[in-house]
Structure 1
Amino acid sequence: MSFSWAKPYEPKHPVMRWIDERLPLPRVVYGAIGGGYPVPRNLNYFWNFGVLAGLFLTIQIITGIVLAMHYTASTDGAFNSVNQLIMRDVNAGWLLRYAHMNGASFFFLVTYIHIFRGLYYGSYKAPRELVWMLGLVIYLLMMATGFMGYVLPWGQMSYWGAQVITGFFSAFPLVGEPIRIWLLGGYAPDQAALTRFFSLHYLLPFVIAGVVILHIWALHIPGSSNPTGVDVKDERDTLPFHPFYTAKDGWFAAVVLLVYALVTYYAPNYLGHPDNYIPANPLATPAHIVPEWYFWPFYAILRSFTVDFILPAKLWGVLAMFASILLLFFLSWLDKSPVRSGSYRPVFKRFFVLLVIDVLILGYVGGAPITPLNVALGQAAAAYYFLHFLVILPLVSKFETTLPLPSSISESVLHGEEAEAAPLGQNKKRGGAAAVVQ
């Protein structure tokens, strides 16, 4: 669909013309994120988190490359290289280490908000199923990268986290233990495991960057979704990505980066675990082994199975943990409602709030000590998680009475009759202002 404001790329500088004739990369960038890319004019601030995720991925790659130059991937030197060499001897090494460590937490935080925005506004529905699935692939790669990075400081929680997480695979009969030995390169985390995790932790962010390119490419085919879930009809429904959304993304990113800087400078260890400042000791088990906070909901699901029933409880827990992520790939078939946006689905909206509360409870239980009360709370929350996606969501999509949708995006922004009566030029001017306000 072509729009009157979408001007073709015309380089003015002789050097840019020369490059464009031989390698039209600037033309591709202009069409992807510049003035040639039409975006729905009613996007709210929840649409900023995709850009933020890309920003934190960039921060992680840059800081990770520099840290790798000083890291010693050996069981004898890893702990000292992180806590002595990098933190004390390398110029600004403490800043690089804390920026990378807290950058992982912020990367997961903005990704979780990005995912829940997609769940609420139906970003997994046609024609964006592949966009959603590629996003989940990115998330799975992030989980693998985050786990391997947690092992690298080779502190107490690093070692025992690797021991526990890789031990999940031993729950599978026959093939589980050989897979675990293959992953670790032995029967317990040691030099072979540390070397493998370091190489994969360095490699996977570049794989993530490649899948991000596919994710953005797949998004540009149907175009961005929007809070109403209504398809773009004409040029009154859209604005050029630049300068409207580059400005909006830019100032919002500045605010988030300010919060990130405050955490990095003034509370760098708040999101970490103090036991990881103790060198790894295979003979001393920590009193409470927990992964990083962004794995807590899934860790709670894993721990919710305490009784053997046909299969061992440990195997049930591992299967449920993997299933809790994999079922998200099938949301477009589980939720058959023709309305995308939760804003026009009153029943869905209430259950979505319950889902958010449920995931927060799972997060609390995953990081809390094991007590009878916490176990019971985790079991109830895990049961509701699967009940929501496998039972409630299909039933709601089938029987729910939805609210009437606006006839167009411009109507939702310009309040009905104004969108139809105002001349096209006026619509464009007022729409630009409205988009910035929203």
Structure 2
Amino acid sequence: MRNLFTDSYLYILTYLNFMHTNPKNLAIKDFVYELPDERIAKFPLPERDQSKLLYYQHHTISDHTFTELPELLPTGSLLVFNNTKVVQARLIFHKPTGGAVEIFCLEPVAPHREVQLAMQQTGSCTWKCLVGNNKRWKEGPLSLHFEGGTVTAERETQQDGHFLIRFAWTPAQLTFAEVLERCGRLPLPPYLNRELTPEDRTRYQTIYARNEGAVAAPTAGLHFTDNVMADLQAKGIDSTYLTLHVGAGTFKPVKADTMEAHEMHAEQLMVSRHVVDQLLSHLGRPLIPVGTTSMRSLESLYWLGTLLLQQPELKPEELHVTQWLPYETSTPPATKDALHALLDYMARHQTEHLHASTQIIIAPGYSFKVCNGLVTNFHQPESTLLLLVAALIGEDWKQVYRHALDNGYRFLSYGDSSLLLP
């Protein structure tokens, strides 16, 4: 006969060891599962909220439809959404000989590094970009004509696999956001491996997308509809919005054997004073991010507050969370103290919005300071997003993903959803 006490003790011991692992020593090969190509959702469902919803709580799994989310969320929850908007960041230029050169805008460099300002720049700007078919681009600028104007691209320098590209356009009064809207193409995830369709322009955006600047969608939010939002409100589930502009680095594979050698990508974060006040007033009740980007944002806010408690006079450009900061802080402060430090900083700088950047890596061994659960899709094997899920629910991530594979769930950006409550 099995000894239930011993079984439970061993389970708890294994879980605690897993959760206190130094994430620098994690081997990415331990976060792999077999994902057949046919399980990757290549196209969205006809109705956003008809996706499946896997519900995980107390080591137990059940199957639902996304419309049931309001019923499954804990009473008094606050949902936090990322309202970034995907821009049409792919520009296809053609040489006079007819050859195509694709320029993929990654992040702004000059005259502004802040995405919000860079998207409103007129006349010209410089961005860090990937260039497809670069060998075909021998010399000189490239031109792309669009209705009512022209944009030119000129290479400035090459750095670590990317280029600095200076764009200039006419009419000069157009913003760069308007230029991209007129002649750019939506950057679908590479694993979809298909051409863009007209439907993608709306379906690869959340219904609440507002602040332009992402090159990938916060896909956990793609399931929400006006009806689901109304049901959340009817159930007394509060919601709020912050902005993390999702970068192409979200698809960056982990190629290092251990995480210590993997460099996390940096992303820009913006949050208002009102949202920080909401977070403070909600401490002690369930605070659940919608998507890994919202989770990374919320936890980054805590660590930004920690930095400000240590160095109150940090300059705006120094507000940055490095990937290992959470694991190198010996005596982290209380969450309320870190959030109050953000409010004090905004008050001193007379601003209603905090702008910062983050490289935070959330992996097993991480101690959550703000979040109590997660709404998220199913992620690629050997990815930092899968590490984040494992940080939240421990070794049970294997059980969750096995259940999803065995029960017909669709994976990745256009796939199904889950509500994870550890």
Q: TM-score, with normalisation over the residues of structure 1?
A: 0.24
TM-score by length of structure 2 reads 0.25
Relative to its length, the structure with more strand (as a share) is 2
Larger proportion of helix: 1
The structure having more radius of gyration, on CA atoms, is 1
